[in-house]
Amino acid sequence: MCTYSSDEFARREPGGGGPQVSATGKLGTTARIALGGVRIAAGTTGLLAPAMIISRFGDSNPAANPAAIYGLRLFGIRTVLIGADLIRLRGRDLDRALWAAPIIHASDTATVLALQRNKQLSPERARPLALISGVNTLLAVTAYLASRRSRS
């Protein structure tokens, strides 16, 4: 049976039996799990309640926009699955998911900003979306960089 001091136990992976984890590693793991949870929540909303998202873009009659409903449900399930990947994957598969995450979320952020710049989305509607996408990008970059740093 392995015994650890409370300080040593706190530096180890969840469960206490794995290798010691640096503060950077813990930050990266926290960012990765948080981003996975955000993706699962957002994807579930897109899958089960697309009208709620459509109305946030200013459409007063979301039911009359079947293309948007289709698109949100289509990407909703994918978002749930890639969110679960951030939580469940390990090793090279997780490395690949972490590599793609900043690209995905930076693209989301750029899309919102472009919609606002082109006056397709009002500043009032764009601000919260840009904030959410920006925070997701920050989480993705943090998780990716922490993962790379902990491996070097």
pLDDT at 9: 41
User: Got the DSSP string for 118-132?
Assistant: TTSS-HHHHHHHHHH
What is the mean predicted confidence (pLDDT) over 65-71?
Answer: 96
- Over residues 130-144, the pLDDT tens digits come to 999 999 999 999 999
- Over residues 20-63, the pLDDT tens digits come to 778 999 999 999 999 999 999 999 999 999 999 999 888 999 99
Specify if 92 maps to a domain: yes
Q: What angle do the packed helices 66-88 and 23-48 form, to 10 degrees?
A: 150
Least confident of 12-16, 28-32, 41-45, 68-72: 12-16
Helix (H) or strand (E) holding 152: none
Considering the entire predicted model, what is its pTM? Answer: 0.83
**Alpha helices, H only, the chain:** 6-10, 23-48, 50-56, 66-88, 91-117, 123-151
Q: Domain range spanning residue 32?
A: 22-151
Specify if 14 maps to a domain: no
Whole-angstrom CA distances from 72 to 51, 54, 87, 102 are: 9, 9, 22, 21
Taking the C-alpha atoms of residue 15 and residue 48, their distance in angstroms, rounded to an integer, is 34
The 3-class SS string of 74-89 reads HHHHHHHHHHHHHHHC
Q: How many domains does the chain have?
A: 1
Specify if 58 maps to a domain: yes
